Amino acid sequence: MNLSRRKISPKELRERGWERIPQLPHMYGRYFRHKLGWKISHCGHPTALWPYILEDPDGRMILTGIVGPLRRPDYGVAWPSVASAVDYVASLEVKQ
């Protein structure tokens, strides 16, 4: 899987089952929820290089190590873009 920094449009997000979650004024970045319960949020650091946190429907953080050779969700770092996290969740839907 390519962990790219590509941008994803609001239309593509909706087509893939994601919705933007309104945020409070003190929150930084964007927050999204998938129809199956997945969540993507910004870590809050304005200059983070890998800022997006992916949570599974049970609330567990899924790091980029899940797409690495060991396939471990507790290895790696946060996601470089919303699109890369969305692509990972979409890859799971294809397998089901």
d(CA 79, CA 51): 6
Partners of 42 in beta bridges:
52
> What confidence tens digit (pLDDT) does each residue in 31-49 have?
899 999 999 998 888 788 8
Phi, psi at 94, each rounded to 5°: -65, -35
Give the pLDDT of residue 46: 79
Q: What is the pTM of this model?
A: 0.88
